[in-house]
Structure 1
Amino acid sequence: MYAGSEAYTAYGTTAPDRTGQAQAFDVIGGRYDEAFPHKEGQIGAGARLVAGLPPGARVLDVGCGTGLPTARGLVEAGLTVTGVDLSEGMLELARKNVPGATFLRHDLAALRAEGPDGLGHFDGITCFFTLLMLPRAEIPYALRQFRTLLRPGGLLALSMVEADLDDAEIPFLGQSIRVSGFLRDELRQIVRDAGFEITDEDTLSYAPARADAPPEHQLFLNCRRT
């Protein structure tokens, strides 16, 4: 069971077991960056978030992966960065890649500001391609939790792959993972319903560098907590 599972009582169900997802990314490791070497959309959304924050602002990178490029870029911009991920293998890489940030093992849907495992409050949150790992029913809940982690007026940079999927099993870089997605109008509405104003948006068609990772349409939203 994942870190912070007791916090799921607020969701009204027992904590889901995402062991298989974490193990898959433990195995994938640095091959993720090899398959997705060009991350212009992610870099651009991160830069827009940085531009709206004061020096030294506290930022949470949800689903930090290897720490590249997001956590590293945030640290280089002079921000105070905490990265969280469920994969210990990814966290080990992130700690090596970005020694200037703090990295912790947490499930993204069980993040809390207060309590024994509380992370405190943040000025900004980045969450790039991480909500994909949740069933659709959990994504609005996770977004509401992000809102509780943000200070009033705090910023969120978010990305998803546009797809009409709910907890579907797919092959990915030699592993089997489960993913969800929304069409763009649905995603916009879910984000707004969670208490965010969408301040900027970008869409990219992306062809990964490896043939075993399919082409995708990536949606990037920059948001502000209302």
Structure 2
Amino acid sequence: MSHVHLAKNIIQIYQKFGRDWSKLRGNHLYEKKWLNRFLDVLPASATVLDLGCGSGNPIAAYLIENGCQVTGVDRSEVMLEMARESFPEQTWINADIRHFHAEQKFDGILAWDSFFHLTPDDQHEMFAQFSAHAKLGAALMFTSGPSHGEAIGEMFGEALYHASLNAEEYRTLLTQYGFDVVKMVAEDPECTGHTVWLAKKMNHIP
């Protein structure tokens, strides 16, 4: 099976195993240190666009607890059902994060453990998405791989596609779309080995 096909299969996997994955993931917030850094860049009562929000637990839940108004976007209706059950006062939208469009601009944009399921070409295109939905001064946080390449993981017996650009490519794209890097850690040992980018929108770029 080609990598392109595996990338397209991501949505079906999370639709099929959404509830099982959420149980396996649990509510332990190993991302807390990074979420606090994200919150530190945000204003009070911030609006946050969570791209690939899943069930909303535990990440969106933590943002909501800290006063954020969350708009979550995910292509898995199963995951969104869980989000709506848990947080009916927030906004949950079934859409492909690559093609989602809102008139609203947000104080923060998050793509945690979702962005890295996209192909390298789609990742390039996502920076226009980030920019289009970011207010001036907005925080952007996403997870990537540590270096350029594609990798195939596994979830419940299904092949799970991941890809990454190299760090210099990400820095170039962020600059191109008006973001300054606030903090980046590759394979953070304090966050289960995640490679995390936190940036701030400093210039209006179309």
TM over 0.5: yes
Kept in 1, the 8 Å contact 2:153–2:159? The answer is yes
Task: Give, in whole Å, the separation in 1 of the partners of 2:184 and 2:8.
Answer: 33
2:147 pairs with 1:184:
no
Please tell me whether the aligned partners of residues 43 and 69 of structure 1 are also in contact (alpha carbons under 8 angstroms). no
Q: Which residue of 2 aligns with 1:202?
A: 185
TM-score, length basis structure 1: 0.75
Q: Which residue of 2 aligns with 1:140?
A: 124
AA aligned to 2:174 is V
Which residue of 156, 159, 171 maps to 2:154?
171
Q: Does 1:131 align with 2:122?
A: no
Deviations 1:139-163 (A, max 9, x none): 1211121111111111111112324
Q: How far 1:39 sits from its partner (Å)?
A: 4.2
Task: State whether residues 125 and 155 of structure 1, in contact with CA within 8 Å, keep that contact through their aligned partners in structure 2.
Answer: yes
Distance 2:130 2:84 in 1: 23
**Which one-letter code corresponds to 2:63 in the other structure?**
L
1:184 partner amino acid: A
Given the superposition, is the C-alpha separation of residues 19 and 105 from structure 1 closer, same or farther in structure 2, using an over 3 Å criterion? farther
Q: Which moved more, 1:29-38 or 1:147-156?
A: 29-38
* C-alpha deviation, 1:113, in angstroms: 3.0
In the alignment, is residue 159 of structure 1 matched against residue 143 of structure 2? yes
> Normalising by structure 2, what TM-score?
0.82
- 1:163, 1:33 → 2: CA distance? 28
Tell me, yes or no, if the aligned pair for 1:85 and 1:104 is still in contact at 8 Å: yes
Tell me by how many angstroms 1:173 deviates.
2.9
List per-residue Cα deviations over 1:184-209 (Å, max 9, x = no partner). 344333333332101122342489xx
Q: Could you list the runs of 5+ residues in structure 2 that have no partner in the other structure?
A: none
Identity %: 26
Distance 1:162 1:121 in 2: 29
Q: CA deviation at 1:111?
A: 2.2
SS in 1 for 2:139: strand
**C-alpha distance in 1, partners of 2:147/2:17?**
22
Closer, same or farther: CA 146–190 of 1 in aligned 2, 3 Å: same
Cα RMSD, aligned residues only: 2.6
Count of residues in correspondence between the two structures: 196
- Is contact 1:184-1:219 (8 Å) kept? no
Deviations 1:8-58 (A, max 9, x none): xxxxxxxx9x76321110122133345445542x32222222222222221
Q: Which runs of 5+ in 1 are unaligned?
A: 1-15, 115-119, 208-215
Q: Residue 22 in 1 paired to residue 11 in 2? A: yes
Give the match for residue 61 of structure 1. 50
Give deviations 1:62-95, integer Å, cap 9, x for gaps. Answer: 1001111221111111111110001111111222
Cα distance in 1 for partners of 2:119, 2:48 equals 25
Instruction: Find out whether 1:89 has 2:65 as its counterpart.
Output: no
